Amino acid sequence: MSTVNTMRAISQRALGGPEVLEVIEVERPEPRPNQVLVRVRAAGLNPTDWKHRATGGFLGEPPFVLGWDVSGVVEAVGIGVATFKPGDEVFGMLPYPWGHGSHAEYVIAPVRALTHKPSSIDHTQAGALPLVSLTAWQALVENAELRPGQRVLIHAAAGGVGHVAVQIANARGAHVIGTASAGKHDFLRQLGADEVIDYRDTDFIEAVKDVDVVLDTLGGETSVRSLRVLRPGGIVVSILPVGSDEFGEEAERLGVRAVRMLVDADRAGMNAIAELVEKGELRPTIAGTFPLADAAEAHALGDTGRTKGKLVLVVD
Ligand SMILES: NC(=O)c1ccc[n+]([C@@H]2O[C@H](COP(=O)([O-])OP(=O)(O)OC[C@H]3O[C@@H](n4cnc5c(N)ncnc54)[C@H](OP(=O)(O)O)[C@@H]3O)[C@@H](O)[C@H]2O)c1
């Protein structure tokens, strides 16, 4: 356990596999104006954590502490923070990509990244939600403006983003089609999927058509091929933001829209997510929880790309 002025965090001195992760003891930060110091109770893990651990990504060379999801208790507030006070239970996504650092006992968050944690879920559930829910919300609602009755195709629907996207699309009254391996089809139906496709034995292009919105969580050729299942004016929102020009060019040729996006920290989106939780329309599925010290184990599991729902670090 750390002392009064220090905290434990998961850091790395080199890029590489899960084994580069180590527990370090560092000084506990102080909130500056418009910042909140959160005592972390739970912090979700996301593919961007494994990608940054291995490649440095947007963050460059280590050392750094990963983690963008946070659920916890306000420990202290900086000058000017009127929205929260010490003791408040909050959750949110730290600004992506440079606001990282929630895989630790405490983290600094800009006040606008947080909202009040819904009382109907615990910290583990709340810590699982922010990044994937904001991604799904910004893709389906803000970019695609998904409406009741529209047909939406969600790739990798059993994954972190996908399983939340299915619920958000269902709550908006859309007709939801999801891809997953056969063993996860019951799970998708329970979440509200109307149709399921086993991507291992069925090419989605053969199985669906006249789609209004595709959420592309796979990238590569899936982005371009997804354009071909749209009805005129439909949209593919890809959350794999780097790719060839072919995506845009093919969209123009077909008379459809192609968008690539990165999730963006946002309290309005977090409030919308909290409201869905309060209405009972959104719940994360927890694939596994790990204490901070076992972060490497969680990364190794996440690295497989096969998890159903979310992995979460739980901090005592
Ligand atoms: N742009 C952004 O802001 C943003 C935000 C969030 C995530 N992302 C990216 O989006 C991707 C998905 O994130 P995530 O958190 O949902 O990942 P995840 O939780 O690791 O996804 C795991 C799921 O993917 C499924 N899957 C793997 N290959 C598949 C395929 N070919 N077709 C259908 N399903 C497949 C697996 O199901 P099976 O076992 O059935 O195969 C598994 O349930 C990652 O690359 C992540 O970095 C980007």
Q: How far is the CA of 133 from the centre of ligand 1 (A)?
A: 13
What is the per-residue pLDDT for 265?
Answer: 98
What is the per-residue pLDDT for 229?
Answer: 98
Q: Which residues line ligand 1 (CB under 6 A)?
A: 46-48, 132, 135, 155-156, 158-162, 179-181, 184, 199, 217-218, 239-241, 261-263, 305-308
Q: Which atom of ligand 1 is nearest to the CA of 156?
A: 34
Q: Which atom of ligand 1 is nearest to the CA of 260?
A: 1
Q: Which of 185, 217, 261 to mutate to test the pocket of ligand 1 (most atoms within 8 A of CB)?
A: 217
Q: Give the pLDDT confidence of 100-143 residue by residue, as tens digits.
A: 999 999 999 999 999 999 999 999 999 999 999 999 999 999 99
Is pLDDT of 150 > 90?
Answer: yes
Banded pLDDT at 48 (limits 50, 70, 90): very high
What is the per-residue pLDDT for 3?
Answer: 62
User: How far from 240 is each of 120, 148, 260, 276, CA to CA, in Å?
Assistant: 32, 26, 7, 25
Banded pLDDT at 2 (limits 50, 70, 90): low
What is the per-residue pLDDT for 243?
Answer: 81
Whether 132 contacts 285, CB under 8 Å:
no
Q: Give the pLDDT confidence of 243-260 residue by residue, as tens digits.
A: 889 999 999 999 999 999
Q: Which atom of ligand 1 is nearest to the CA of 239?
A: 1
Q: Give the pLDDT confidence of 190-226 residue by residue, as tens digits.
A: 999 999 999 999 999 999 999 999 999 999 999 999 9
Closest among 218, 217, 221, 227 to 251, alpha carbons compared? 227
**Separation between Cα atoms, residue 273 and residue 69, nearest integer Å:** 14
Q: How far is the CA of 238 from the centre of ligand 1 (A)?
A: 12
Q: Which atom of ligand 1 is nearest to the CA of 157?
A: 34
Whether 32 contacts 11, CB under 8 Å:
no
What is the per-residue pLDDT for 316?
Answer: 83
Q: 3-state SS of the chain?
A: CCCCCEEEEEEECCCCCHHHEEEEEEECCCCCCCEEEEEEEEEEECHHHHHHHHHCHHHCCCCEECCCEEEEEEEEECCCCCCCCCCCEEEEECCCCCCCCCCECEEEEEHHHEEECCCCCCHHHHHHCHHHHHHHHHHHHHHCCCCCCCEEEECCCCCHHHHHHHHHHHHCCCEEEEEECHHHHHHHHHHCCCEEEECCCCCHHHHCCCEEEEEECCCCHHHHHHHHHEEEEEEEEECCCCCCCHHHHHHHHHCCEEEECCCCCCHHHHHHHHHHHHCCCCCCCEEEEEEHHHHHHHHHHHHCCCCCCEEEEECC
Provide the whole-model pTM.
0.98
- Tell me the average pLDDT across 20-47: 98
Whether 270 contacts 115, CB under 8 Å:
yes
Banded pLDDT at 281 (limits 50, 70, 90): very high
The two tokens of residue 147 are 């409406």
Is pLDDT of 50 > 70?
Answer: yes
Matching residue, tokens 């972060």: 295
Q: Give the pLDDT confidence of 158-200 residue by residue, as tens digits.
A: 999 999 999 999 999 999 999 999 999 999 999 999 999 999 9
Q: Give the pLDDT confidence of 64-82 residue by residue, as tens digits.
A: 999 999 999 999 999 999 9
**Separation between Cα atoms, residue 161 and residue 180, nearest integer Å:** 13
Is pLDDT of 60 > 60?
Answer: yes
Q: Please give the share of the chain, as a percent, with pLDDT higher than 70.
A: 99
Closest among 250, 260, 201 to 229, alpha carbons compared? 250
Q: How far is the CA of 305 from the centre of ligand 1 (A)?
A: 7
